[in-house]
Structure 1
């Protein structure tokens, strides 16, 4: 048994919580891989010289936290990683990786919805970008963004496969200082299902709408993202 796998019976930390932390390390390190079946309770109890009930407590704690799934008659399996989306904070694209695939990019007159969101004049020109967003080389979101053409001239000639956040800073010296964010559960449309490479119709998803503003409270970008429901979770930070 590795030293890191040793349970400290003299510790004030309950045995099942120590064991749970060891299991988390196995998941995070990849020793227990995503979707793989882990050893059964008896095997783990023997390995760590603990009671089966202690092992079960540790496993159930990880089930409650969404790290494991117990399948009756089959065993316990490691769940896929889920993205943490910082809802009430600034936009941190590095959490998702920087890879995007551009599905379409065009200039058009703003719709009433976009006009209202970005506080534009009726019919004002905007750039519309529809892109696929990735996490660890897997498509996890369809992202549609709108930016006023006057604020970012020549946008369609730029490299749109990276993050818009970085592009706005490096190419236009514009930085998003705050986002107004709304989150709502939705059902994937047929087109979204195909784009996200999800099996089956009527799958649940999260729609996250953000309006980004600069330091002078000028609204610069409207982004509507449809995230796969099975690959996303929300993280709230309160102070």
Structure 2
């Protein structure tokens, strides 16, 4: 079975990053350049770049191009909050629905995001966080087993993944990417969206003092969730 062209482009980009040929913040070929090199449509090239950007491997700058994202930790302007605490603070009832708890072989984007070898085993969970029994957020998380070996044995009805990881691999730093997306059919089903609407997606990588702990994708309906923060500047 032949490999789709967009997947070939993704593999080409990932191989250059993994080999060290392209370093952090290096510019990668544009849509036009990839279109010419692989003899594909711009839509195919755009899909490859978009999927790697969604995974946090690339970053795109309007008018400047597409670049290899920084894989080093950085301080976040957004406070990492426990969603169960957020819901309870609004005097609402928190619950969750656990959809997936599994060990998988890490494909290249996940391996790069977690700083592990391709095809090594990592943990994956998919959990729907509910407010008053209504879906509020889908959390898909990939975890480094070396730093959270008992992750799959936890009862995440009684504590959230964030709480467990904060206790067992205290988080020191994080990196966020925030954007608006249109959900696919599966995401609409998980969020009980009968009419497709824009969603807020947060891609988050977290570190402890021992290394990268997890890589998560958090998706919430735009009509139900928002991000906010408070900054204090020194005089």
Aligned to 1:135: 131
2:86 corresponds, among 95, 106, 111, to: 95
C-alpha RMSD of the superposition: 2.0
1:196 to partner: Cα distance: 0.6
Tell me: CA distance 1:99–1:176, structure 2 relative to 1, closer, same or farther (3 Å).
farther
Q: 2:110 aligns with which of 111, 114, 120?
A: 114
Pair 1:212-2:202 in alignment: no
Query: Contact (CA 8 Å) 2:148, 2:169: kept in 1 or not?
Result: no
Distance in 2 (CA, whole Å) between partners of 1:195 and 1:87 is 29
Q: Look up the SS of the partner of 1:233 in the other structure.
A: coil
Between the aligned partners of 1:128 and 1:195, the Cα distance in structure 2 is 16
Q: Is the 8 A contact 1:91 1:179 kept in 2?
A: no
Please list every run of at least 4 consecutive aligned residues from structure 1 whose deviation after the TM superposition is greater than 6 angstroms: none
TM-score by length of structure 1 reads 0.58
SS at match of 2:187: helix
- Provide the C-alpha distance between the structure 1 equivalents of 2:144 and 2:175, rounded to a whole number of angstroms: 17
| Secondary structure class of the residue paired with 2:135 | strand
Q: Could you give the per-residue CA deviations for residues 154-185 of structure 1, whole angstroms, max 9, x where no partner exists?
A: 32222122211222345xx3211222111011
Is the contact made by 1:90 and 1:178 (CA closer than 8 Å) also made in structure 2? Answer: no
Deviations 1:49-71 (CA, angstroms, capped at 9, x unpaired): xxxxxxxxxxxxxxxxxxxxxxx
CA offset digits 1:114-164 (Å, max 9, x no partner): 111111122221100001012233211111001012222232222122211
1:155 aligned residue (151, 168, 175): 151
Q: Do 2:174 and 2:205's aligned partners in 1 also have CA atoms closer than 8 Å?
A: yes
Question: Counterparts of 2:77 and 2:190 in 1: how far apart (Å)?
Answer: 24
Superposition TM-score, scaled by structure 2 size? 0.59
Per the alignment, in what secondary structure is the counterpart of residue 223 of structure 2?
helix
CA distance in 2, matches of 1:169, 1:181: 17
Q: Contact 1:208–1:225 at 8 Å: present in 2 too?
A: yes
Aligned to 2:190: 195
**Between Structure 1 and Structure 2, whose CA radius of gyration is higher?**
1
